[in-house]
Amino acid sequence: MANIDEQVEVLMSGAEYGDPQTRENMTRELRERLIQAEKEKRPLRVYCGYDPRKPDLHLGHTISMRKLRQFQEFGHDVTFLIGTFTSLIGDPSDVDKAREQITPEQVEENARTYQAQAFKILDPARTRVRRNDEWLADLDFRDIIRLAQNFTVQQFLTRENFARRLDAGEPIYLHEMFYSLMQAYDAYAQQSDVQVGGQDQLFNILVAGRKLQQALGMPPLVAIIMGESLPGTDGEVKMSKSLGNDIPLMTTSEDMYGKVMSVPDKAMHVYHKLLLGWNAAQLDELDAQMQSDPMAVKKALAYEITRTFYGQDGAEQGAAHFAQVHQRGELPDEMPEYAIVSEARVVDILTGAGLTSSKGDAKRQIKGGGVRLNGDKIADFDAILLPDDLPVVLQVGKRKFVRVVPA
């Protein structure tokens, strides 16, 4: 069992608060919590929440999961919290306008596979899975008033995105402020010692969560705020499903391998640091290798990440698919089929087969030269396929294929 100093060093690695004093305070409080827990002969109660507003978690989410895994390896009590209630509002922390409201039915459908995805990183035997509708759904209006009286409007307006919207004359809706209140209550309801989160959670955890726990007679939790966000496949902007630059966990080994390979060279340093946990010496060696053989570096990373989620066979399959389709320009051996019974527009087929998100997206892909029919680019939005023309292969971008066949 690691001693307290060793635990603090590992658990605070990668944490960043934008303020050296706050980091020093959190380090001290973590050490004090560990000492107290050791005296009480109990583990720390640690959690991180994930809102199921989308059906897929992505590689960016695994950064906080890996921190939870470190707590597990030191024997602490880890909860993977599914935000089945908070997601009905949606966290306003990283957006410049109110999120679209979703229904409980959408939340339930999205949350269906979250546990299986989380267990790709977390130890199932040592993970507590909870849903925050367990306690939030039972609060009445009197409870909300009692909780809200611990905060001022001015406190919420100091949030960067709220302040930015206020300056720009953009609306800030009252219900958006409830999100921080609900997340703070999550910490109280679970009697949490530690909460893990990203930079967009600074206010929710450091201000709202800690303050509400104190107001309700509990010691404030220790915030472990991860310092860097994983850039998406563009290598620039934080990975996000809504931006389309994400690498989802629930995909195929071929898609995951290919998407990692599409990440720009400049992002290799941060990918190895955040996803593989490489130290400074290893990263120095990586930077040197990137100068001599960047393709080998990216292939090794794609293989290791794909192996984590799909095993060695999946990694081999992903590597073989990449070599066949992307390096040799061949069609994949296997692809989904889409049957038509009569003439059909290509844009309708692309949308129906799931190669594009909408007909508008299909037209944008055609306009950009990203759609091919049997290897030839399609330029006509109104292109039609007839049953007598089939079978044919439609391709969108470098990784999406469908074989169109007669019904």
The domain spans of the chain are 4-225, 253-327, 337-406
Neighbouring residues of 140: CB distance < 8 A, sequence distance ≥ 6: none
Which amino acid belongs to residue 56? D
Q: Is the Cα torsion angle 229, 230, 236, 239 positive or negative in sign? A: negative
222-225 and 194-197 beta bridge pairing: parallel
337-406 folds as: 3.10.290
pLDDT value at residue 178: 87
Return d(Cα 168, Cα 400) in angstroms, integer. Answer: 40
pLDDT value at residue 289: 93
pLDDT tens per residue across all 407 residues of the chain: 789 999 999 999 999 998 999 999 999 999 999 999 999 999 999 999 998 888 889 999 999 999 999 999 999 999 999 999 998 876 665 555 455 677 888 888 888 889 888 999 999 999 999 999 999 999 999 999 999 999 988 888 877 778 888 888 888 888 888 888 999 999 999 999 999 999 888 889 998 999 999 999 999 999 999 988 899 999 999 998 777 889 999 889 999 999 999 999 999 999 999 998 888 899 999 999 999 999 999 999 999 999 999 999 999 999 998 888 877 777 777 788 888 888 889 999 998 888 888 888 888 889 888 898 888 889 888 888 888 888 888 888 877 888 888 87
Give the tokens for residue 60.
């960016």
Q: Is the Cα torsion angle 248, 250, 254, 255 positive or negative in sign? A: negative
pLDDT value at residue 20: 94
Return d(Cα 150, Cα 138) in angstroms, integer. Answer: 20
Cβ burial, residue 380 (10 Å; 0-12/13-18/19+): exposed
Cβ burial, residue 249 (10 Å; 0-12/13-18/19+): buried
The answer to whether residues 257 and 319 touch, using CB atoms and an 8 Å cutoff, is yes
- Cα–Cα nearest to 246, from 102, 57, 113: 57
Report the CATH number of the 4-225 domain: 3.40.50.620
The answer to whether residues 272 and 263 touch, using CB atoms and an 8 Å cutoff, is no
Structure pTM? 0.78
* 3 state SS of 344: strand
Fold match between domain 4-225 and domain 337-406: no
